[in-house]
Amino acid sequence: MTERLQFYEEWREAIIQCSRCGFCRAVCPIFDVSKRALANARGKMILLKEAMEGELPVTDGVAQALMRCTTCMNCTVSCPSGVEPDKVIKAARREMVTIGYDNLFKAMGEVVEKYGNIYGEEQRHEWRHKQGKAPYVLFMGCVGAYREEESVAETIRLLDLLGVDFTTIDEVCCSGVLEDVGYKVKEALAQHNVREIRKTGAETLIATCPYCYRVFIEHPSYKDLGLEVKHITQFLAEVPLQVKTEKRVTYHDPCDLGRHSGIYEEPREIIRKIAPTFVEPERTRENAMCCGSGGGFRGTFPRDSLKIARNRLDRIIEETGAEILLTECPSCLHNFRNAKLRRQKIGIYNITEFIAQLYQEGASVGKQAAEG
């Protein structure tokens, strides 16, 4: 099948703006583990240029190559020529789907529609938290609710400890990830979430997952939410905390929270309150390397995704000597926990989860002191 990509007119300028300087090699998590030129943004911009100009037949190989991107945006922020490869690649993925190249997310879209979550799980963990009216409503997201349940449980416990009056809802997948891989948000799911959230009468929605947070803020399907949306780090940054740790703590910026949403300070404000020995990794904030799970990459290339997480984790340990790695993204958390080797003694937590545990330790120490 030989076809010219039709999105030529819309994206031509963006693609030929790449001056092929290759600076994206330094920041691409996939290139970092593969060292293959097709992995980074320059490789993909060249591929698309040739596909648009009819030099390269559009094949399944092109479709596959376009899936090899975590949309982490590290190349976008470091591109001297002002190319936004994450946007171009998402548009190209849509184009490939439109002209008939399937990827595994068509099937995932069906699963999400049927089960309301990306994993096709029939049962959700019973959080035993109140549902109904409250000033705050908590949204957990699929990865937290179905793969990192214990972490979510701790987040819930922390909010309770802090006396936050919040409710959970009968949530379904925000389905935003489908937009990254060539498909569309599932309207029925979005409307279900909007309805359930509105029913609570809450004034603020607290999202634990940075991706869900972005979808609520950015996607038109969620424009009628009618309340303020906050990532949990934005909420927690304003809350006084009574615990501290002496441990050496570091922080990984999730791509969806940092580069995509511009939230860098709030997590650090929280961490500085609880950890005087906070130390930054060498690659941090706008330049933080991706954990390898975003943009449909973990689903499509699980082995490479894990390799990227291991790579990032190894370097964080080497650079910081930290005992505790914090982040606040269920996907990053899940990938790092899967990647961690037994010999690596570092503890990996979401910030909220870690603080909940500090309160727990504090309580048991206090209890011992009282008994002693």
Partner 1 sequence: MKELIEIVGEENFTDTLEELVPYSYDASVNVQRPNSVVWPESTEQVSQIVAFANEQKIPVVPRGAGTSLSGGVIAINGGIIIDLSRMNRILEISIEDRYALVQAGVVCDDLNGKLAKYGFTFPPDPASSSVATIGGNVGSNAGGIKGAKYGTTRDYVMGLQVVLPTGEVMNTGSRTMKCVSGYDLTKLFVGSEGTLGVITEVTLKINPIPRHAMTAVAAYGRLEDAGKAISQTMSSGITPSVMEILDKITLKSIKENTDIDLPDAEIMILTETDGYTREEVEAQMEVVLRILKENNPSLIKTAQDEKERVELWNARKSAYATLARISTSFVLDDVTVPISRIRELLVGIQEIAQRHGLVVATYGHAGDGNLHPQILYDAYDAEQVEKMERVEGDLFRLAISLKGTLTGEHGIGLSKADYMTLEHDPVEMDLMQRIKRTLDPNNIMNPGKMSL
Which residue from 3, 10, 36, 269 is in contact with partner 1, where contact means CB under 8 A?
A: 36
Q: Is residue 17 within the footprint of partner 1 (CB under 8 A)? A: yes
Q: Is residue 310 within the footprint of partner 1 (CB under 8 A)? A: no
Q: Is residue 38 within the footprint of partner 1 (CB under 8 A)? A: yes
Q: Is residue 54 within the footprint of partner 1 (CB under 8 A)? A: no
Angle at 219 between CA 217 and CA 221, to 5 degrees: 115
Q: Is residue 46 within the footprint of partner 1 (CB under 8 A)? A: yes
**Least spacing, CB of residue 202 vs partner 1, in Å:** 40
Tokens of 121: 């799980």
Tokens of 110: 């069906």
| CA separation for the pair 89, 69 (Å, rounded) | 8
Name 51's Cβ contacts closer than 8 Å, sequence gap at least 6: 4, 5, 58, 62
Q: Is residue 35 within the footprint of partner 1 (CB under 8 A)? A: yes
Check residue 131 and report its DSSP letter: B
| CA separation for the pair 327, 253 (Å, rounded) | 6
| CA separation for the pair 320, 318 (Å, rounded) | 6
Q: Is residue 20 within the footprint of partner 1 (CB under 8 A)? A: yes
Q: Which residue has the tokens 């399907």?
A: 221
Contact region with partner 1 (CB under 8 A), list: 56-64, 84-92, 136-144, 166-174: 56-64
Distance linking the first and last C-alpha atoms of the chain = 78
From residue 47, alpha-carbon distances to 62, 80, 145, 357 in Å are 8, 19, 38, 48
Site string for partner 1, 231-250 (x = CB under 8 A): --------------------
Which residue from 1, 80, 220, 240 is in contact with partner 1, where contact means CB under 8 A?
A: 80
Q: Is residue 153 within the footprint of partner 1 (CB under 8 A)? A: no
Which residue from 4, 8, 11, 23 is in contact with partner 1, where contact means CB under 8 A?
A: 23
From residue 325, alpha-carbon distances to 134, 251, 310, 313, 322 in Å are 32, 6, 13, 9, 7
Which residue from 65, 140, 275, 329 is in contact with partner 1, where contact means CB under 8 A?
A: 65
Give the ranges where 19-82 is alpha helix by DSSP (H).
Answer: 29-34, 41-52, 60-67, 74-78
Q: Is residue 364 within the footprint of partner 1 (CB under 8 A)? A: no
**Least spacing, CB of residue 13 vs partner 1, in Å:** 8
Q: Is residue 9 within the footprint of partner 1 (CB under 8 A)? A: no
Closer to partner 1 by Cβ: residue 61 or 362: 61
| Residues within the interface to partner 1 (CB under 8 A) | 16-17, 19-23, 25-26, 35-38, 42-43, 46-47, 50, 56-57, 59, 61-62, 64-65, 80-82
